[in-house]
Structure 1
Amino acid sequence: MLLAIWRYRHFIVSSIKNDLRSRFVRSKLGAAWMILQPLAQVAIYALVLSRVLAAKLPGINNRYAYVIYLMAGMTAWSLFSELLSRSVNMFVDNGSLMKKIMFPRVCLPVIVAGSALVNNVLLLAAAIGVFLLVGHMPTAAYLWLPALFVVNVIFSLGLGLLLGVINVFVRDVAQVMTVVLQLWFWLTPVVYMPTIIPEPLKMALELNPMYHIVLSFQTVMLYGQAPHVRGLIAVGVFGLLMLGVSLLMFRRAAPEMVDVL
């Protein structure tokens, strides 16, 4: 599979470019919407919740601390949400392509991951720009961000590819995941701090993989500290196991998938 990805690397790169271009065809602002939409969501949450939650951010004196906290969490969540949503539907959406063109099917998850990464790296750049405007300077801890992105992609793609294969045969999966993602968002401390969660429920929070990823982004981008490596390693290992199982399922089901599509 890795050899096939390398041989078709030019096809993958051109497909990522075409995917990004096709999203905003005939749009006046074009790719700027990739940044403006998440920033608008952050602004809405900040306006609604900042007065309630800003005072509960420990260890930071910046008056815009909650906005920084929120943007850090949204940077992590946006990558996960986009990658998972698109992975669930990637085989269904590309069914005609899979029937008409001969190419390694494993290229599809790589194209989806590459497109989502470009989108969210631009969002990260915009977030850092906002931080600079409010006087929050980047620190050496930002060097952890590439590793955080890698763990996020591994977990998101592992889960998304698994659900994407199942969705080919049971189309209800995509509909269910739309609801699950909304619930998952509110079960993850993106817009609120984990300190407000009752003690009996904190053990359940630890079982949420996205809690560790979001917390790591917030620790690095808000506090300028190294993330909690133990939780990240656990999520990364779990993601690799899911990715391995998903690729095995995908390889075995590929012939039948084309017939079903």
Structure 2
Amino acid sequence: MLYSIWRYRHFILASIRGDLKGRFARSRLGAFWFILHPLAQSLIFSIVLAEVMRTRMPNIDSQAAYPIYLLSGMAAWGLFSEILTRSIGIFIEQASAMKKIAFPRLCLPVIVWGSALINHVLLLLAIAVIFLFFGHYPGFAWLYLIPGMLLISIMAFGIGVFLGILNVFARDVAQFMTVFLQLWFWFTPIVYLKSVVPEKFQFLIGLNPMTPLVGLYQDALLFNQRPEWMNLWPAIVVGFVAVVVSFMVFRRASPELVDAL
């Protein structure tokens, strides 16, 4: 399957360009919408919660600490949720193409993956400009975002492909994940600090594989610190298992995908 993806790499790259152009079509702001949506959501949370959370930011006197913390977490979550949600629906969305054109079906979630990474890089560039207005200058710790992006996208890709296959045969999967992702978001320390969670719920936050990945972004962008690599092992294991299982399920279900559509 990996070799077939490599052979169709030009098709994938052309499709990523086409996907981006299609999403920009007839839009005056174009790519700015990919940036404005998460920034607007972060602005709303900042306005509502800034005074409450600012007092809980340890060892930081900056007035912009909470907005920076929030933007960092929202960036990490945005990459994860975009790859996951679009991968769940990509086979149904591209049903007509799958019936008319012969190509490796796994190319479709790979195209989603590439498009989401480009959107994410654009968002990070916009965040860097915003940080400059705050007087918060990017440091070398931003380089740690590269393994963070890789781990987040791998985990989202693996889970998304697995659920995308299930969604072809049971359309309730997408509806369930819409609700579940909202719960997952609030069980991830993005809007709040992990330290404010009551002790009896700390283990739930610790079981969440997105917690250390969001923390990696927050440590790099806000504190200019390297991540605690040992804390990333749960996310690495979940991502690896998700990719392996999704490939196994995809190989078995691939001959029946078009018929089910």
Q: What TM-score range do you get, normalising by the shorter chain? A: over 0.9
* Structure 1 position 64 matched with structure 2 position 64: yes
Equivalences, count: 261
The structural deviation recorded for 1:138 is 1.3
Which residue of the partner structure matches residue 45 of structure 2? 45
- The CA deviation string for residues 64-118 of structure 1, in whole angstroms up to 9 with x for no partner, is 0000000000010000111111011011111111110011111111101001111
Partner Cα separation in structure 1 for residue 233 and residue 203 of structure 2: 18
1:84-233 to 2 correspondences below 5 Å: 84-233=84-233
Aligned to 2:234: 234
- Quick one: which amino acid aligns to residue 245 of structure 1? V
- Runs of at least 4 residues of structure 1 off by over 2 A? none
C-alpha distance in structure 1 between counterparts of 2:88 and 2:50, whole Å: 34
SS where residue 191 of structure 2 aligns?
A: coil
Greater CA drift, 163-172 or 195-204: 195-204
Match of 1:77 in 2: 77
CA offset at residue 4 of structure 1?
A: 1.3
Identical-residue share of aligned pairs (%): 51
Unaligned runs of 5+ in 2: none
Which amino acid in the other structure matches residue 15 of structure 1?
Answer: S
Per-residue CA distance 1:124-153 (angstroms, 9 max, x = gap): 111111111111111221111100000001
Deviations 1:207-247 (A, max 9, x none): 00111111111011110111121121321122111101101
Alignment match, 1:55: 55
Instruction: Provide the TM-score with structure 2 as the length reference.
Output: 0.98
Give the TM-score normalised by the residue count of structure 1. Answer: 0.98
- The equivalent of 1:6 in structure 2 is 6
| 1:60 and 1:223 in contact (8 A); partners too | no
Residue aligned with 1:30, SS: coil
Q: How far apart, in 1, do the equivalents of 2:37 and 2:256 lie?
A: 38
